[in-house]
Structure 1
Amino acid sequence: MSDVFPRGGTAIAGLATYGVGEAPGHTSMELTAKAGLMALDDAGLTLADVDALYVCQPTDFFAGLSLAQYLGIRPRYTDNNRTGGSAFMSHVASAALALEAGYIDCALIAYGSNQRTSGGKLQIKITNDQWDAPYEPLYPLSHYALAAARHMHVFGTTREELASVALAARAWAQTNPEAFARGPLTMEDCLSARMISTPISKADCCLVTDGAAAIVMTRMDRAKDCAKVPVPVLGSAAAAWWNSVSQAEDLTMTGARESGARAMEMAGVKPADFDTVQLYDAFTINTILFLEDLGFCAKGEGGPFVASGAIAPGGSLPVNTNGGGLSYCHPGMYGLFAIIEAARQIRGEAANQLEDVNLALAHGNGGTLSSQATVVLGSMATL
């Protein structure tokens, strides 16, 4: 598998986040463009260097065209892959392959949303799925509640274990100045939170925020001449198993089992090698499912694993070290923020900087556990 992906042939040369939390007076496109310009400046590059745009906006189905127009550039290639929060991990894979082939020279991957200040909500009425719509689920919340309920039934997972995910995320966020939710949070707060779709309560749900993020990717030979030390892309893979959760063969298993295994094979690494893991935690059950499916603990042991404190500050596997979607930010789609936190840890620039980070994983989720995508990033020492 490693021979089909350019392991270390491309790198993240620049990155930026902007407007995290609340950014009143900004449109989603303004936020996206600002983050993109900041990422280019971080790399020591300019808009003139960009010949490919990868973007997925919350409401603009022609976002690739819109961003090119807004920035005043004429890229050779645009990609507007809409798989939800996993889209950006897939963008990394597509950009790496296009860069390696010489099809493009510099890719800007960007996202931004003013979901919070524009009055958006996490829940929407489902209208495009004939199998789920008749039951009027809270989309996407009820679908994740279904997976959580099944995990509880099969493996004995408890609400306390789900709450442990939220508590770990908040503990990381409390020491991250950029995180939106930094206040105290207790087990009792989680267990007494308003139930929304059993067994998922308000405390199990991600934030609704504004925010933008962007990364710049180029070939390694060029990245070495950029302003910051490159973050090599060692592997990236995606898996799409369904759209409607009603089509899932096993509600306790996700496509992360496939995307993670392939990405790690490309990179030539295994779960035990990682220094930190950044997971798409739209709901607390996500973290448990993905830790299991990516191989960081056995299937069914995710609950006890997170309850042990393993993913919290001081634990054996630092997870979502920025606070994640549960406490850092969640402006509609979180995937690109997970990639940036992984890259920041490798560059030594994270708010909650860990020691000697050479290998980091970022995992994205889209739809209702429908699309999974995984990126493996390394330091220059891993090449």
Structure 2
Amino acid sequence: MNFKSTIACAAVVTLFCVAIAPTTVSAQDELEKRATWSFPDQLTVKADLDKYLSESEVSEAIQQQIAILWEIPIESDDRSLLLDQLINSFALANKDVRELTARLDTTPATAANIIPTMLTDESQDDFLRNNLRLFYARWLAHSDLQDECLQVLEGITPSQVVDPATLLFYQATGYHRILAKDVCLQKIDLLLENEEQLPRRYSTIAKLMKADVEPLKSDSLDEVARLMADIRRRLKLGRAGTRVRKEEDDVIAKLDKMIEELEQQQQQQQSGSGGGSSSSSSPAQDSSNLGGSGPGNVDNKSVKEGDDWGALPPRERQKALQQISKELPAHYREVIEEYFRKLARDEG
């Protein structure tokens, strides 16, 4: 190969490297951008556990029992098994954890009206407390106690627990259940950053939740129906407090607004179609006589100040209900029926 050919080859290689370099850097940047959290490996978790056991002055015999639990690697991709194994280790080493986990096995979650003290005690070791909070919150979520679950998880970040996917998943499901749309979508997007490493049930449900909540509009019948479902959930769990009363008031206010908008639309339609036989395509002159033979009296029987839908007689109320709920899905009709029942109770 002569000198000129060598120079030509070098130039081609240089151009090729320059061409692919931005693509490679771009791919790396995209990966770093997406991966804002990661799964800790089993060896790292075991090292953190050994540090806790050493600082807690756990006996040698207990440490040997715990070591046996960790001798066989967890082969499953389900990282929640790693959380369970860690909690079992804590239970062997810590009497309070042992009593708490035993209580969870025998006590219904609906009876958990108070968060255990050790979950809120900041003097506890952070590694112990944060992972125990996640374990406890998962137990609450399995009984549909979403508010309590979110309360326990508040402030925990993915880097503080051994199973960040479970943390983000139950935060997302909790916010989805209480209709906190924006926060729910944030948690779902964060969870799906590591979609390929997630348990399939997590990724599938996360995508379903996103598709479900993304089109949700404020003050829509869909939102009202969901609020009513959340009210029923809370009442069924015996959580009839301030939050339920607020949601009930929100439902009434949203339905009042929708009904008012329907009335306005109906009035506009009637005004647009009631021009009479003297209509013209050009505006009337100020001094012209438009004709007509009516006496000029106004019928005041339906123009009473203070009239509203809540004051309608039962028969008229039922007629209005049928008009409003015409062609709507059944669960929307139930919402509107409940609205009128509440108005009737308030009047009584």
Q: Which TM bucket (shorter chain)? A: under 0.3
- Highest RCO, 1 vs 2 (Cα 8 Å, sep ≥ 6): 1
Greater share of helix: 2
TM-score for both structures, normalised by structure 1 = 0.23
Mark the structure with the bigger radius of gyration: 2
TM-score for both structures, normalised by structure 2 = 0.25
